[in-house]
Amino acid sequence: MSWLTWALVSAGAAAVTAILAKIGVQGVPSTLATAIRTAVVVVFAWLMVVQAGELRDVTTISRRSLFFLALSGIATGVSWLAYFRALQLGPASRVAPIDKLSLPLTVLLAVLILSEKVTWSVAVGVGLMTLGALCTLL
């Protein structure tokens, strides 16, 4: 599958995740809910690694990659903790779009850190999506 197909699968799964999480977090401390979700993700991910026959590749990962994957994991943890708390306090229909403001931040960081180029169509699209997310605050 192409990157676009995978990105669309990710978007669909994220949408379902928001609804399931909103239902699941009711009456549960948000940090505990995040820990339960994380445990399920860990088990699921390792099952996928084993199924794909990639377990032997663990020993070939560079220290640099491990370092940045660990930092990414910390950032994910912070994001998930904040997301679950936001879902506990607010409606999913407003929390999810604001959470997606990660989009313009990601594009900005991609330009600054990864030296990626942004086309006018990407800039306009990201701008419109940002405005759309901000409209949910009104």
**Which among 89, 76, 74 has a CA at the least distance from the CA of 25?**
89
Give CA–CA dist 89/58, Å, rounded: 39
Residue 96, burial from CB neighbour count under 10 angstroms (0-12, 13-18, 19+): buried
pLDDT in tens, 71-100: 999 999 999 999 999 999 999 999 999 999
Amino acid 93: pLDDT: 93
Percent of the chain with pLDDT strictly greater than 90: 94
pLDDT in tens, 2-35: 999 999 999 899 999 999 999 999 999 999 999 9
Spatial contact of 107 and 118, defined as CB atoms under 8 Å apart: yes
Give CA–CA dist 25/90, Å, rounded: 11
